[in-house]
Structure 1
Amino acid sequence: MNKDIKRIAIVRLSALGDIVNSAVVLQFIHREYPHVKIEWITEEVFAPLLSNHPLIHSVHSVNLKKLKKERSFSALSKTVSHLKSLGPFDLIIDMQGLIKSSIVARLIGKNTHGFDKNSTREGLASLLYRTSSSIAYDENIVKRNSFVVADALGFTITDSMLLTKEKVFPSTEYKHTKKDKMSNIAIVIGASWESKKYPKEKIAFLTNELKQNSLIIWGNEDEKKDAEWICENSEFATLAPKLSLVELVSYIGSCDLLIGNDTGPTHMAWGQNIPSITLFGPTNERMIYENPKNIAIHSPSDVNIFKINKNDFSISEIEVKEITKKAMELLNGI
């Protein structure tokens, strides 16, 4: 342990699921360095999720997507000046390992740490780090995130620590309506790629098989239309309200179980210690920290994590009866 470390910056810009799987390290850093000030740099859209975290001293946001779209020199100059003004830091950890995140880290200061050139898909990013960590790219994403931070700070995050972790985000209880003593099951239907989505027809069938109160979570208007279709075709499905990221934490954290595709809101269940089933097609279990309470069901596809096939729609081949069986086992505490 380096007792001289008093202020660190974590760079993890996006996406939602990756931020959930990264923010788990906060409690472990605090355990080893109870007096350190942790500051987080993220994309503007995710800042509200992190801003009220009791273990984060400050959240600093950037809008790289807007910069890329508008190509404004003035806006770029302001962003660069803002990042340069944040220091000095004793240590800056880039948890993302991309060229854009390594540039952000280097603008903040010189004491940068990240993945080495063989541990990330954009190896050039490593040129901007003062020190680096080596871990296989195809290793579990939560273990990768935990390792790069712990390695930088000189301690170890074990499987036992991850299995007994506290909730990743603070939350309040969401008052779900109880229907005839049914369990409340959150069902996430959206994803960044169409091939990650489980067909809405099968979701409607699933909710009817479960015979529990299925809460259909949506994130945009297209997903809302699919969610409404599911509700129209299932007597057990209920449309979830429009939720902010902060509200989503409480909403999911107050459910009995979550079933969803490989996407951010699904990962939130693991973050909040809620039982979950993640359905995989073009991606695989590397994306979650699988344990007896948070499990994966995969399609028959043989996934190559180094060359993801976004046209792999095999998730539709997962049988509803298999999901139903696992869901009831989790609800019954098996």
Structure 2
Amino acid sequence: MRILIILPNWLGDAIMATPAIELLAKYYHNPKFTFVGSHVSIEALKHHPLCERAIVDETKKAPNRFLATYKLARELGEFHLAISFRNQLHATLLLRFSKTVTCISRRSWHSMFLLSHTPNIKTNQHLVKQYAKLAMCDVDSWDGEALKLKLYIEPKLFDKPTLGINAGATYGSAKRWYPKRFAEVAREFSDRYDIIIFGGPNEVDVANEIESYLKSFNINNYKNLAGKTDIKELCANIAGCSLFVTNDSGPMHAAAAYQVPTVAIFGPTRHKETSQWMNEKNSLIRHEMECSPCMKRECPLKHHECMKSITSLEVIETIKGMDT
């Protein structure tokens, strides 16, 4: 059975869609997946053993995106089932143009007129559950189960216990805790763990700031991998960590997929919807504010208290209280 899946754009969202993909693999007979998505989501999920084709959607770069979407759909051909985890017009059109009869997408002004199945899914629940309900909307035998996150990238094996530090958050500065405080946490545990500083190409400055603090603390058992890994290498390195300290971010969900003990620091985002899913060893740190969750890229009130009020000592004590 050929199934077309349009993946979410963000790394974390793509990883949170993996339980839904596993449900499709479980409930449909002999499925073969074609993934379409952003470079990041494709690089993370293309290793699935049932993936027969993975395509980076570059229609946004075309002079005429509608025409480019039509051409991509015609190239892909018809499927037995097509599902979009993106609630976006061009994703809907891609399904429609593929001439697939059974097409699933969250209900919107465009999908409800163009596609066969458009369930109205409530957003006041974890995103994993939302994706699972979307994928299973045409399966009567589904019992409501939501599986664990799953990535098919082999973990890297480190010689010593390793603490991963992830100070970035692609969405915006409001989601980022402070480099000095990350460094203070790393210093506290540097006698027990080697340290890896993670970060994407746009987070090199933040990672370098953490590195400068570690140098000032005379800590030298660290590696700064910010901007130096592709998505596969990023996931493999995170998977090999013994402990992970992170902002709300894509790498946080990668750690959850590998059940890495994690302390996740949340500020302006909806933790009930995007916290780590089914990670048995995770602790979430957040301070309730009248203004939270604001969901803004930058603090609109300019005080950033949701993050500023979280101290390095609080994170250190949380780690010490974990069974790692």
TM range (shorter): 0.7 to 0.9
Q: 1:281 to 1:290 in 2, by over 3 A?
A: farther
CA distance in 2 between counterparts of 1:153 and 1:12 reads 20
The one-letter code sitting in structure 2 at the alignment partner of 1:218 is G
CA distance in 2 between counterparts of 1:144 and 1:189 reads 27
**1:325 counterpart (287, 312, 317):** 317
Q: What TM-score, normalized to structure 2?
A: 0.85
The one-letter code sitting in structure 1 at the alignment partner of 2:83 is I
Residue 120 of structure 1: aligned partner: none
CA distance in 2 between counterparts of 1:186 and 1:81 reads 43
CA distance in 1 between counterparts of 2:99 and 2:220 reads 53
Residue 232 of structure 1: aligned partner: 215
Mapping of 1:69-80 within 5 angstroms?
Answer: 72-73=63-64, 77-80=67-70
CA contact (8 A) 2:7 2:85 kept: yes
CA distance in 1 between counterparts of 2:316 and 2:144 reads 32
2:152 maps to 1:170: yes
CA distance in 1 between counterparts of 2:128 and 2:168 reads 22
CA distance in 1 between counterparts of 2:23 and 2:291 reads 32
**1:295 counterpart (283, 286, 291):** 283
Q: 1:91 to 1:249 in 2, by over 3 A?
A: same
Residue 247 of structure 2: aligned partner: 261
CA distance in 2 between counterparts of 1:132 and 1:300 reads 35
Residue 206 of structure 1: how far off its partner (Å): 1.3
Residue 15 of structure 1: how far off its partner (Å): 0.8
Counterpart of 1:101 in 2: which secondary structure? helix
Residue 91 of structure 1: aligned partner: 81
> Deviations for 1:126-177, whole angstroms, at most 9, x for unmatched residues?
4332112232112111111111112234443645x53xx3x61122241324
Identity of aligned residues (%): 20
- RMSD of aligned Cα (Å): 2.5
CA distance in 1 between counterparts of 2:312 and 2:143 reads 36
The one-letter code sitting in structure 1 at the alignment partner of 2:205 is D
CA contact (8 A) 2:182 2:210 kept: no
Residue 196 of structure 1: how far off its partner (Å): 0.7
CA distance in 1 between counterparts of 2:278 and 2:310 reads 18
Gaps of 5+ in 1: 1-5, 118-122
CA distance in 2 between counterparts of 1:302 and 1:236 reads 41
CA distance in 2 between counterparts of 1:280 and 1:237 reads 27
Q: 1:124 to 1:317 in 2, by over 3 A?
A: farther
Counterpart of 2:51 in 1: which secondary structure? coil
Residue 65 of structure 1: how far off its partner (Å): 4.4
Residue 116 of structure 1: aligned partner: 107
Q: 1:173 to 1:116 in 2, by over 3 A?
A: closer
CA distance in 2 between counterparts of 1:253 and 1:184 reads 10
> Deviations for 1:168-207, whole angstroms, at most 9, x for unmatched residues?
11222413242xxxx3121111112011111001111111
2:83 maps to 1:105: no
**2:175 counterpart (196, 220, 223):** 196
Counterpart of 1:324 in 2: which secondary structure? helix
Mapping of 1:126-137 within 5 angstroms?
Answer: 126-137=112-123
Which range moves more in the overlay, 271-280 or 39-48?
Answer: 39-48
Q: 1:48 to 1:272 in 2, by over 3 A?
A: same
CA distance in 2 between counterparts of 1:64 and 1:294 reads 38
> Deviations for 1:21-57, whole angstroms, at most 9, x for unmatched residues?
1123232222222511121111234323222221222
**1:59 counterpart (45, 54, 74):** 54
Which range moves more in the overlay, 250-259 or 224-233?
Answer: 224-233
Counterpart of 2:137 in 1: which secondary structure? helix
Residue 124 of structure 1: how far off its partner (Å): 4.2
CA distance in 2 between counterparts of 1:34 and 1:226 reads 51
**1:281 counterpart (264, 267, 271):** 267
Aligned residues: 308
Q: 1:78 to 1:103 in 2, by over 3 A?
A: closer
Q: 1:9 to 1:303 in 2, by over 3 A?
A: farther
Counterpart of 2:125 in 1: which secondary structure? coil
